[in-house]
Every structure is written in C-alpha cells, then in structure tokens.
Structure 1
Amino acid sequence: MQPRGPRLGMVAGEASGDVLAAELLCGLRQRWPALAAAGVAGPAMQAQGCTAWWPSERLAVRGYVEVLRHYAEIVGIRRALRARWLHDRPDLFIGVDAPDFNLPLAADLRAAGVPTVQFVAPAIWAWRPERAALIRRACDHVLCVFPFEPALLAEHGIAATFVGHPLAAVIPRQPDRAAARAALGLPADTPVVALLPGSRRAEIAHLLLRFLAAAQHMRREQPRLAFVLPAVPHLHDAIAAQVAATPAATAVRVLRGQSHRALAACDVALVASGTATLETALFQRPMVIAYHMHPLSWWLTRRKMRQPWVGLPNILAGDFVVPELLQEAATPAALARETLAWLDEGDSARARRAALQARFAALHQTLQRDTVALAVRAIEPLLQRGPAVV
C-alpha cells in the first residue's frame, strides 16, 4: 500500500493567485509525490491536481462596495471551508494572496492546531498596517515576494522568508518581441498597445469601456496602431461581446488568455493596477496604470493608503516611474495621451524609455530567485509537524 502523502488545504482568490499557487503546488508534489490538495482553486491549480470545491473566480472581488454585494456568498464559502477543515484537519493550510479571505480562515485553523502559511504578504507597508496583528495570529510562516518584507514582518513578531517572485522566474530576462508578434500574427513594424483592464468582473465593468474609448482616441492620432486585449478565459466571451459592440471593434483583438505573449509583443501597455503591472515591468514594457472603482470604495481605500503610489512598479521604485491615472483622472482622453507619450520618437522620449527599461531589468534581477525551492524549504518543517492535537 502506498503511504499517504500530505494533505493540503489551499485557497487562491483570483487568476494571479491561481498561477502562483500552481507553481508552488508543482514543487511541493515533486517533494511529496503523493500529496493531495483541495479548496478554492483556479484552472492552473486544478491542472496540478488540486480539487476545486469552489473556483477561484468566486473570490475575485475588489473594493468595499463590490465585496458587500457578494458578502453573503464569500462568507458562506469561508464558513464551509472552516467547518470542513476543522472536522477533517489538513496537514497544512496555504492561503495564496487574498488576505481578507485567507487570514481570518487561517487564524481559526491555526487556533485548532493546523499549521498555516500565507503566500504573498499582505502589503502592510502600503496600506492597512493594522493587519499586522491578524497576520501574527493567523500565520506560522509568511512567504514574501519582495525582499524588504521579512524584516518588516519580523518587527511584528512574524516569521517570514523572501522567496522571490515566481513571475520573475517565468518571464524571460530578454522577452522575444518578434516571436510573440509572429505567434499572434502581428506585423513586425506596427506599433502595438496591450490593453489589460483586469481579471475581475468589477474591474472589467469599470475599466473596459474606458480603455476601448482610449484606444479610439489613440487610433485617431496614430491610425497604424494595433491593440491586443488578453482576456482571462472565463470572461473572454463577455469581454469579446462588449468589444464587438463598440467602435473599437475593428482595432482591438481580444485574446483568450495569452497575457504574457501580449506583453512580449507590445510596445506599451495600458493596464489595471494589480499584479499585471508587475508582469508588465518584468517584460520591460512602458505602461500607464489605471484604476476606477465605486466612489465609496475609492473614498474608503484612499483613507487606508500609506503611500502616494498604487502601482507595484512605482511602489517598488519609490517614485512615479510610470503614470498612474486613478478614479476621475482615468478619462479616455488622459489614458490615450499618457499612453501615446511612451510611443513618441523624440530624443527625450527615447531616453525615458531606456531609463525605464534599465530600471525594470534591475527589478527583475532582484526578484528572481528559485521561488519554489525556497518555499518548499520553508514549508517542510510545518508539514513534518502536521496538525497538533488540541
């Protein structure tokens, strides 16, 4: 009879978390081939053998008002997971990003003797520093994707390890623009703009039409421009239908996934604030960061912010290295103007692009580590310990 492998409870709350969790799960299964995992999972995790009791997209909500609309469903999922895992305790719980969902769940499981890990530290250095107390109560260990985070968490008595950012290992140091364009059927000499309006339904609702209107503004200025819009697979058809109903339909090509290929192929990206901004930076592409949400959500979010930036490239640089157009500032005309500025062929614009590329290349080097190996090494003592008898 084969020995039983470790049993993991896992929760990833959106497309980017699903990818991170899948990479980690692959490494853990190499170390423990009989490992089993179940919980809230997206397609990438499921491809690695994780059983999805709920799909990740059910938790892909951002903004206070938007969360309230789905509050009953989200809380119901968390209660069901808590009851199931307290009745049949896993050897380890791993929450991937989604801290508002994962930390309260992890705190309850840890109190019951289940070891807990949070992969991606909540950004207490950017906003909501009061969460440090909950992290300390909820997590046996935090896997950090940015190098300054372990020391910051240590100040609050939280054990943490910098494991690098998995995207830095996946994205090549020298993206092949020509190969990406060939794969997408794009001409080599056509200026290409990538439109990334987010992976959540609320983001699409607030940003897609703004981005499409901005594309129309840009086409009037530069008729040769081509646009690619990589859509997360479960929203592809809805996004394609919205694009088809606008004047931008003839200029914008909607892709099913393929965000990395779109970023490799493009000259500049118009991108929603979030993980996609870091992906764009690792592809060394100029960008304009945009965001828009319900006015009440925006007002509450602004009150919690500790820094003047919202985009990860700017936060990590400590400066506005790329433009941010948020809320009322995110008009189609302004989005178009700032995006076209990156395509200017003047000497100052060329120097600006070169400086940004050098900065992003240095960031890539900083973040690139053997993430999975470091994460497995940090997790192994907790898996060896297993659930405590309480």
Structure 2
Amino acid sequence: MDRAPQLALVAGEASGDLLAGLLMGGLRARWPALRAAGIGGPRMAAQGFEAWWPHEKLAVRGYVEVLRHYREIAAIRRTLGDRLLRERPDAFIGVDAPDFNLGLEERLRAGGVRTIHFVCPSIWAWRGKRVEKIRRAADHVLCLFPFEPELLAAHGIAATYVGHPLADTIPLEVPRSKARQALGVGEGETVVALMPGSRRSEAQYMAASVVQAAAEMHRREPGLRFLLPVVPGLHGLIAPAVEQYAGGAAVTLVEGRSHEVLAASDVVIVASGTATLEAALFKRPMVITYKMHWLSYQLMKRMGYLPWVGLPNILCEDFVVPELLQDAATPQALADAALRWLHDPAGCARLAERFTELHLRLRRDTAQAATHAIEEVLRG
C-alpha cells in the first residue's frame, strides 16, 4: 500500500493501550502520515492517535460489573460502528477487549470494512466456543503466543504470530540498580511491589487485601519497603485503601512507572492479567491473586479448561508461581506466599532461569512483524 492508511483502533484498558501504543510505533515507522482514531489511551495519543472516547470507558472486568455499565458501553459501540461504516477506514484493528471488539468487528466486516484482531482471545484456556465468533469477526488475527496460529488455522482463521511486544521492550537483563536509584530505594532494602490491578473494578475488589498483606508482612518483618504503582485515574481509589489498611507498613504510591517498580522489587503481589507477564519478563518472583464479584467468579471458573489462571503459569505449563484467588486470597495467605519467596533465594534463581527462557521465546520485534501482517491484509 503506497499511501498512508487511515485506521480505526479500539483498546479498552491500560494493557490494551500499552499494546496499541507499541503497535502504532511500528505502523508510524512504516507510514509516517498514518491517521488513526477510535478508542484509546495516553500511549496511543503519544503516537498521534485521536481518541473519540477514553479507554477507561471499557475498563470493566466480570459479568456482574459489566452489567452495571452495559447500556453506556453498548451505546458507545453502536455509535462507533455507525461512524466507522460511514467513514470507512482502510481497516479496523481491535486490540484485545474481545467482548467489545469482536461484536464490533463482526458488524464492520459484514459492512465491507477489513478487520484485524490483535491478541488472540484465550480460547485455549476458557470459552473455546468463542472461536466461531472470531471466525465471523476477523479477517486476520495477530497472535502474541507461538501456539495460537495453528490453533486458529484448524478453524479456518488466518493468523500470524507476532511475538509479545513487552518481550521486545523489557530488557533481558533487569536494570535493578538503575530502577532503585530512580525510585530512591537503597541497594540494601528489600522491596515488595504491590499491583492490585489497573481497572477500577479490580482495585475495588483487591486493593484492600493486597495492602493488608503488606501490613501483615510488615508486622512479621518490619524492615520491608512497599511500592505500589498507581494507574492514572485510580489514585483516589488506591490512596484511601493504603491510608486505611497499611498500618505501619511503608507503602509508597508511585504514579505509573510500573516497569521501574518491577525492576526494583524483590517480590511482587500482582493481580492476574498482563502485569503478571510483565513481572515474569522482569524475572521477578511473584504471587498472583484475583478477586471479583462472587457470581462473576463462579461463572468464569466453570468456563476454564486449564489448571492455571496466571499467564506465567500457563506459558510455562506449570505452577511456577502461586495463585491465590477469590476466598483463598486472604492477607495472611498472600503475606505467607510472598515471604516464602524472600526466604528462598535458590528458588528465585531457578524461577529467573525459567522466565529468561520464556522471554527469549516471546521476542520477535512485534511492532515490525505486526505492521508487516497488517500491510498484507491491506494489500489483499
């Protein structure tokens, strides 16, 4: 395609904004005059993206939680679909957010707009019947993990493995000293990273237990230092939880800068999601946790196929790090699991080796590979 394309994108939360921002870097390197608009966040805006709605509008997780916002989200999708069918971009790229994007892609594709879905939904882990919707919705799927294209091909879906962009951006060697210096952390301090989720609904369910876990760890080992990176927009929700539940624990809120916090940390208590993969790529021992509305949890648990929930465990096909979910995610259990890592340097070293192997598998210059795949779709 000789001229710069006009693309529409939707990224529905902080992790999608991160992926889409990295993708747009590759697209803009190929087409400096690229025009892109839709739903996105600050990382996309930094690449010249025009956000018609902010990505926070779609940052909702769980069936019950989605129902509370359903009318607004459905109205946004309908209005966006109407506009894109009128303006007819060269392609629509749905970045993750499958519950929102697949339905929109299906409508756009039926209307003659090329559709690309970036991040294969986890049909290998749960909701396998969703593959039929993917086949109707997407002209092409860009996959983060190497086993996914073959799985999709078996269902007649064109796909390309592009690697995971985080594996390109996160260095193989962890810049621990540099990160500690930037955050004002001493080399001799033991640092625990607290990451209770990037969505408002996640913070509402998990912030209290994660901060209480820090208080419990402090009670047992008073010298620990705690860092909690806060996603823009969630400070007003996180700060009161810290004030209420931290006790005497030294919990420092850090605006963004999650990668520096991970690099500086000795162990991480982290909500299940993309952040667990980030922690793995930084070779950090971690405890994965998750809480949601009890009904949402029961519904999602029944749809799962794998014994693991966290991405590091799924990709390593083993319980390499503990998972404490829902009722099991008590402050005492989280503190126990995190402290076990701090007292097991040999186990941390073995885990770092597993995560280094994973890092190497996922490196593929994702922005360039994805841009090439998108160009092939545009030519077709």
TM-score, normalisation: structure 1: 0.95
**Aligned pair in 2 of structure 1 residues 249, 19: CA closer, same or farther (>3 Å)?**
farther
Residues 127-166 of structure 1 aligned to structure 2 (within 5 Å) = 127-166=126-165
Cα distance per residue 1:169-195 (max 9 Å; x no partner) = 110101111111110001110110000
Does the CA-based 8 Å contact 2:214-2:249 persist in structure 1? no
CA distance in 2 between partners of 1:160 and 1:4 (Å): 24
Match of residue 319 from structure 1: 318
Is 2:178 the counterpart of 1:179?
A: yes
Deviation at 1:273, TM superposition (A): 0.2
Secondary structure of the equivalent of 1:110? helix
Does the CA-based 8 Å contact 1:127-1:306 persist in structure 2? yes
CA distance in 2 between partners of 1:302 and 1:293 (Å): 11
Letter aligned with residue 370 of structure 1: D
Match of residue 15 from structure 1: 14
Deviation at 1:286, TM superposition (A): 0.2
CA distance in 1 between partners of 2:139 and 2:232 (Å): 34
Residues 21-100 of structure 1 aligned to structure 2 (within 5 Å) = 21-100=20-99
Match of residue 345 from structure 2: 350
Cα distance per residue 1:330-386 (max 9 Å; x no partner) = 000000000000000xxxx2221111110000000000111111111111022234x
Letter aligned with residue 75 of structure 1: A
Cα distance per residue 1:206-265 (max 9 Å; x no partner) = 100101110010001111100000010121243223322334475100000000000000
Does the CA-based 8 Å contact 2:225-2:251 persist in structure 1? yes
Is 2:363 the counterpart of 1:364?
A: no
Match of residue 204 from structure 2: 205
Give runs of ≥4 in structure 1 deviating > 3 Å.
245-250
> Over aligned residues, Cα RMSD in angstroms?
1.2
CA distance in 2 between partners of 1:186 and 1:146 (Å): 35
Letter aligned with residue 368 of structure 1: R
CA distance in 2 between partners of 1:292 and 1:196 (Å): 13
Is 2:241 the counterpart of 1:242?
A: yes
Is 2:373 the counterpart of 1:382?
A: no
Deviation at 1:4, TM superposition (A): 6.4
Cα distance per residue 1:31-68 (max 9 Å; x no partner) = 11211111001011011111111101110011000000
Secondary structure of the equivalent of 2:182? helix
Match of residue 388 from structure 1: none
CA distance in 1 between partners of 2:310 and 2:50 (Å): 33
Does the CA-based 8 Å contact 1:243-1:249 persist in structure 2? no
Deviation at 1:130, TM superposition (A): 0.3
Secondary structure of the equivalent of 1:293? coil
Does the CA-based 8 Å contact 2:214-2:246 persist in structure 1? no
CA distance in 2 between partners of 1:184 and 1:249 (Å): 21
Secondary structure of the equivalent of 2:36? strand
CA distance in 2 between partners of 1:83 and 1:220 (Å): 56
CA distance in 2 between partners of 1:227 and 1:240 (Å): 14
Paired-residue identity, %: 60
CA distance in 2 between partners of 1:246 and 1:333 (Å): 13
In structure 2, stretches of 5+ residues that fail to align are none
Structure 1 stretch 298-307 or stretch 248-257: which is displaced more? 248-257
Aligned residues: 379
Structure 1 stretch 21-30 or stretch 204-213: which is displaced more? 21-30
Secondary structure of the equivalent of 2:32? coil
Secondary structure of the equivalent of 1:62? coil
CA distance in 2 between partners of 1:223 and 1:242 (Å): 20
CA distance in 2 between partners of 1:247 and 1:342 (Å): 21
CA distance in 1 between partners of 2:245 and 2:128 (Å): 42
